[in-house]
Amino acid sequence: MLELKQIIAGYGQNIVLNGLSLKVEAGEVFALLGGNGAGKSTTIKLILKQIKPQSGKATFDNIGIESANAYIAYIPENVALYGHLSAVENIEYFMALRGEKPTQDSIRKALFTAGLPSEFIGQRVSGFSKGMRQKTAIALSILQNAKLLLLDEPTSGLDPKAIEDFHNIIETMCKNGAAILMVTHDLLGASKIADKIGFLYKGKIEKTIDRKNGGLNLDELYAAYNEIGAVNA
């Protein structure tokens, strides 16, 4: 379980996260919604240790986030891969950096699970579409046995079929016990796959809607979004 408690963090004097608290349980998708500047990307950076909190506590499965690297996988909005390498080589490299050496079979299997067509597996990723890059990154997170998956605007720019594929993969990963934190502007997408939606405004979650408590109605979500002023933030 990812737990952020009363986090205050930012860039120098500029405080972006102002008392942020949230929990993402194993097997749960938490969608963090908010307007520009609300602190969505900063939250991701905090978990990735690219910024340090001034106060508050960030833990994963009760250990400090700074020691939880091995459990975390990150998939940015524009999945960055090495264009001169194939999907398999990219995965081999990133896994090697973690000190792991998966077999070719396991890499191919993960790519297949992530939905990358087999004819692209050995090709250089410089020619990959955004969706194919995302699938490669998901395959990487599968191989990493990531217990926490961080997704930054995952469906932005994807075609409907790719979005559907993505939702299916996320569902599978959730069933396998991964905790998923997704930051997004996509209300519709969030309403389909998220278990909880947190509305972030000025570095703090102003409202959380839980699917268990009456489901996620799109109108209700949009109303909540407007209510906290996130749309115009």
Partner 1 sequence: MPKVILIALAELKFILRNKAALIAALLFVLMNIFSANVAWNNYNQAQNEIKSYQNFANEDFANQPNRHPHRMVHYGHFAFRSQNPLAAFDRGVDQFVGNMIYLEGHRQNGANFSDALQSVNLLRIGDFTPAFMLQLFLPLLLVFIAYSCVSREREGATLPIILSQNIKPAQIYWGKLLALFAVALVLALPSIVFIAIITKSQISTALILILAIFAYCLIWCGLIVLVSLNSKTNNMALSYLLGLWVIGVIMLPRLGSEISGFLVPNFSRVQMDLETHAELRKMGDSHNPNDPYFNNFKASVLKKYNVKTVEELPVNYKGLLAVEGEKMTSQLFDKYNQKMFNAHETQNGIYSALGLIDPFISFQKLSNSMSGTDYKSYQSFIEQAEKYRYNMVQHLNGLQANALSYKDDTNKLLENRISNENWLKYPKFEYVAQDFKERFSRALQSLILLLLWSIGIIWLGLSQSKKLGGANV
Please give the Cα distance from 19 to 201 (Å, whole number). Answer: 11
Please report whether residue 70 would count as binding partner 1 according to CB under 8 A: yes
DSSP structure string for 190-230: HHHH-SEEEEEETTEEEEEEETTTT---HHHHHHHHHHTT-
Phi, psi of 150 (to 5 degrees): -105, 120
In terms of CB distance, is 27 or 76 closer to partner 1?
Answer: 76
In terms of CB distance, is 68 or 209 closer to partner 1?
Answer: 68
Stretch that binds partner 1, among 68-76, 159-167, 208-216, 220-228 (CB under 8 A): 68-76
The helices-and-strands tally (H runs, E runs) of the chain is: 7, 10
SS3 149: strand
Q: Which of 63, 93, 164, 168 binds partner 1 (CB under 8 A)?
A: 93
Q: Which of 98, 117, 129, 145 binds partner 1 (CB under 8 A)?
A: 98
Please report whether residue 45 would count as binding partner 1 according to CB under 8 A: yes
Please give the Cα distance from 181 to 146 (Å, whole number). Answer: 12
Stretch that binds partner 1, among 13-21, 49-57, 166-174, 217-225 (CB under 8 A): 49-57
Size of the site for partner 1 (CB under 8 A): 25
Q: Which of 55, 61, 96, 231 binds partner 1 (CB under 8 A)?
A: 96
In terms of CB distance, is 60 or 199 closer to partner 1?
Answer: 60
Please give the Cα distance from 125 to 220 (Å, whole number). Answer: 40
Q: CB–CB of 101/93 below 8 Å?
A: no
Interface positions, 105-134, toward partner 1 (CB under 8 A): none
Phi, psi of 137 (to 5 degrees): -65, -35
Q: Which of 97, 119, 127, 213 binds partner 1 (CB under 8 A)?
A: 97
Please report whether residue 72 would count as binding partner 1 according to CB under 8 A: yes
Q: Tell me which residue has tokens 């250990």.
A: 63
- Site residues, partner 1 (CB under 8 A): 45, 48-52, 69-70, 72-74, 76, 78, 80-85, 93-94, 96-99
